[in-house]
Chain A
């Protein structure tokens, strides 16, 4: 297994841990503006810090390969993965913006959507959907790359 593939596994593992923790807290904790802000901040810090640490460790363990960088095969996989994750993110961005109108509609009609967290302002509801979108698109990005590394292109 090459350095790029190991890096993909590392990123996938970190993203999955953050996603499970994020969704777990959303389900179990009584979410308010303050708690969702805390949750969003912690998730962002975790994903950045953990990614840096894992990539540094992998680069130290595979110094020669890491120094070489990517080749054409890695670049093709990266492009395909970016296309797939990009589409996923577009869908979540669309939902985020549509929430602007949906929240107002549901509040007016006294209904609650499954996408909307009660007791949380529209801005944080939008941030929540965007965060979920970022995490899921990141997972799709890494899964696409790993699929091609394992199965061929």
Chain B
């Protein structure tokens, strides 16, 4: 079976004072559409953006993205 990258961004946003996609996009420095695409597993971000997302939620990159 082919492995794919999934993520917990939606859950992390909810647990982080119900942060909006727009707020996360502004903090990471990408467009809201890019955050939407990442959440829906339609786009795999660069390592830099992945680290920035993890940094916003103060967790490790493995807590945000799962390769399964």
Interface assignment of A78: CB less than 8 Å from any CB of chain B: no
Chain B: interface residue total (CB-CB under 8 A): 16
Q: Is the CB of A152 within 8 A of B37?
A: yes
Question: Can you sample 25 A-B contacts with CB below 8 Å?
Answer: A1-B33, A2-B33, A3-B31, A4-B31, A5-B33, A65-B31, A71-B29, A71-B31, A71-B34, A72-B30, A72-B45, A72-B46, A72-B49, A73-B31, A73-B33, A73-B34, A73-B45, A74-B31, A149-B33, A151-B42, A152-B37, A152-B42, A152-B43, A153-B42, A153-B44
Interface assignment of B11: CB less than 8 Å from any CB of chain A: no
Q: Is the CB of A2 within 8 A of B42?
A: no
Query: Closest CB of chain B to A53's CB: distance in Å?
Result: 24
Contacts of B37 in A (CB 8 A): 73, 152-153
Query: Closest CB of chain B to A3's CB: distance in Å?
Result: 8
Q: How far is the CA of A73 from the CA of B42 in the complex (A)?
A: 11
Residue of B nearest to A65 (CB): B31
Interface assignment of B10: CB less than 8 Å from any CB of chain A: no
> Is the interface on chain A under 10, 10 to 19, 20 to 34, or 35 or more residues?
10 to 19
Seen from chain B, the residues whose Cβ lies within 8 Å of a Cβ on chain A are 29-34, 37, 40-46, 48-49
Query: Closest CB of chain A to B44's CB: distance in Å?
Result: 8
Query: Closest CB of chain A to B38's CB: distance in Å?
Result: 9
Q: How far is the CA of A71 from the CA of B34 in the complex (A)?
A: 8
Q: How far is the CA of A110 from the CA of B20 in the complex (A)?
A: 70
Residue of B nearest to A5 (CB): B33
Q: How far is the CA of A1 from the CA of B33 in the complex (A)?
A: 7
Residue of A nearest to B26 (CB): A68
Which of A2, A3, A4, A153 sits near B43, CB closer than 8 Å?
Answer: A153
Residue of A nearest to B42 (CB): A152
Contacts of A149 in B (CB 8 A): 33
Query: Closest CB of chain B to A79's CB: distance in Å?
Result: 13
Q: How far is the CA of A2 from the CA of B34 in the complex (A)?
A: 9
Contacts of A65 in B (CB 8 A): 31
Residue of A nearest to B36 (CB): A2
Contacts of B49 in A (CB 8 A): 72
